[in-house]
Each structure stands twice: as C-alpha cells, then as structure tokens.
Structure 1
Amino acid sequence: MELKFFKDFDFTDFWNKSSYSERDYIEEFPDDEMIASVEKELGYKLPASYIELMRIQNGGLVEKSCFPTTESTSWAEDHVAITGIMGIGRDKTYSICGELGSKFMIEEWGYPNDGVYVGDCPSAGHDMILLDYSKCGKDGEPEVVHVDQESDYKKTFLAKDFETFIKGLKNEEDFDGE
C-alpha cells in the first residue's frame, strides 16, 4: 500500500500488542464498502489520514499515548493521555460504530455531536478524543480535540488534523511524572 500521509512515520513501538487490544479494538481492515457504510451511519466523511492509518492497523491500544497541550486538562497540566484509537467497524467494543463507540458516547454519555469520537482515554469515558467537524462541516478536514466530560464537555484543541495528532503522540516518559 502506497502511503500518502505517514510516509516518514516510524510505526515501530507505536501500537500496543496485547490480547486486550486484539479482543476489543482491532477490526478487520476496512474496505471501501465498510468505510462508506460507517460514514453514512455517523454522518461524517472520515479524514483520508484516519482511513490510511486504519488500513495499516484498524484500531488498537497505543504505546505512544500522550499528546502535549498548551493548557491544563483534567489529565495533566501539559498533556492528555489516550488509551487507544478506535477502528472503522462495528464488531469490536471500541470501534467507532461499536458498543462503546462514537454514537454511544453522544447518545448515552451526552458528548457533543460535533463529529466522530476516535480515541478513548484512561478515564473510562470521562474524556475522549474527537474529530471535530464544527468548523469545517461534515465533509471537511476535522480538527482533533480533547473533550472533557468532567468540565462540562470543554474542548481543548490538540491538532489541525488527524495525521498531525498521530505524529504528535509521545511516550508517557516524555512528561514529568508526579
């Protein structure tokens, strides 16, 4: 597969290889039909960089699990943490259309319906990573934001697009531990 977005990105040690990741996150590789079906169900055109990553590995826990922020969040003063990236599909618990996927977070947890929730955080649902379409429309290139349920669904800007978000993820050790 010819990469358009992640050409210079080293995926060594990016994904967490575990039975939990296999069982609850990693879907079969999405074909065009599955992508179209999921986009129709969610009402948003998925970013090409997200689709490309899901064709490398369709969801999973990540080793590089922290993204730097310029403002403090419920997680830390200088970063947010994620558990995993949701894959394109419906079969796994943590897929964007899975049991605890994007629609569930909107319908059951009251998250803003501003896009597609693609990343979960260690807080067990109290904060999420959103592809935010509120500025670009349903077919545009969404920003990536952190949405904090504990702070009245406050959004913290993370990255101008999904590719920038993935490339900006860092190891937990890169941040000073408390």
Structure 2
Amino acid sequence: MNNQFWDDSDYYTISNPVSDETINEAEKELGYKLPSTYIELIRSKNGGTPINTCFRTTKATSWAEDHIAITAIHGIGEPSGIDSKEYGSKFMIEDWGYPDIGIVICSCPSAGHDAVMLDYSECGKNGEPKVIHVDVESLNGPKITFLAKDFESFISNLVNENEFSI
C-alpha cells in the first residue's frame, strides 16, 4: 500500500498489529469475509485517517451536493475497530440503526449520524461487497447512496478535501 495514503495522525490507529489470527477472529465475530484490499490496507496501518478524505458522488448526500467525507477507516481490534464490542460495526447497527447488510467501515464527520459501509446484500457473506454511504438521520429511514463497486475502487477514488469549495 502506498505510504502516501495515510495521514500522520494516529488518532484512529489501533496499536495492535494485524495478524492472520486477528483477521480470522474479526471475520468470525462480524460474520463476513473482509475484502483483500481492506486487509492489505490495515496491514500497512491498523486504521486511521487517510490523506484524501472525500469521495465524489453523483447524488446529494447529507454532507454535500457532490461528495461525502470520512474521518477514519477503521482497523481491527479495540477500542475503535470494526469488530470492537463497544464501538464497532455491530454496535452501530444495533444502537444507531444502520442496516444489517454488512460492516460499518468508515466514520464520517457527523459523529455517527452517517457512515460508510461494506454492503454484502447482493454478494453474500463471502463475496466482494460494494461500498455505500448510509445516513441514518433521514426522515424516511436510512438513506443509502451507492459509492463504489468494491473497497479497492472506493479507496482509489478518495480525493483531497481541497478539491471542493467550502
């Protein structure tokens, strides 16, 4: 993975390194096979904030007319990993009302009101999930916006926030 992917911040980084055992445990806990590109990414750094934090959209979202923003890609382990008992994906699905179709993988600046998920609803628990943005504060229930056909396409198309006018 490109060393220029991650920001120097370690706020969302989990200190424990990612091993085959931790990956297997996370997959068992979550009930889904993790994308190989995600595994490769978190082996380079176990979660954190990327340099490029925005993803262009063709539809307006709760964040902006033409993009979403993320604050972190979550790694594996406590305290903030996708498999964390206290703040992980299952917590977000059970307590925040995210759809039970996959894994909440990225935080957004809204502090939990929207997030990026791996959506396994079409590919099954062992397939290659698409990437979606979910806004749980939408008046008609969670609003889902398609982002990318897979995780690799998602991270490859992250752009810097400076590309958008504020």
Q: Secondary structure in 2 aligned to 1:150? A: coil
Name structure 2 gaps, 5 residues minimum. none
TM-score, reference length from structure 2 = 0.93
Distance in 2 separating the partners of 1:27 and 1:146: 27
**Aligned letter for 1:86?**
H
Residue aligning to 1:130: 117
Q: Secondary structure in 2 aligned to 1:108? A: helix
Name which of 130, 154, 172 aligns with 2:143: 154
Q: Count residues with an aligned counterpart.
A: 163
Distance in 2 separating the partners of 1:25 and 1:32: 18
Shift of 1:175: 1.2
Name which of 7, 12, 16 aligns with 1:16: 7
Q: Secondary structure in 1 aligned to 2:137? A: helix
CA contact (8 A) 1:116 1:130 kept: yes
Task: Give the fraction of aligned pairs with identical amino acids, expressed as a percent.
Answer: 58
CA contact (8 A) 2:74 2:81 kept: yes
Residue aligning to 1:116: 103
Residue correspondence of structure 1 range 1-178 to structure 2 within 5 A: 6=1, 10-12=2-4, 14-19=5-10, 21=11, 24-89=12-77, 91-92=78-79, 94-98=80-84, 99-151=86-138, 152-177=141-166
Deviations 1:103-151 (CA, angstroms, capped at 9, x unpaired) = 1101111111100111000000000100000010000000000001111
CA contact (8 A) 1:27 1:88 kept: no
Deviations 1:35-77 (CA, angstroms, capped at 9, x unpaired) = 1111011000001110010111110022211000000000000
Change (3 A) 1:141 1:170: same
Q: Secondary structure in 2 aligned to 1:61? A: coil
**Aligned letter for 1:114?**
I
Distance in 2 separating the partners of 1:85 and 1:101: 12
CA contact (8 A) 2:130 2:148 kept: yes
**Aligned letter for 2:155?**
I
Distance in 2 separating the partners of 1:153 and 1:176: 27
TM-score, reference length from structure 1 = 0.87
Distance in 2 separating the partners of 1:172 and 1:122: 13
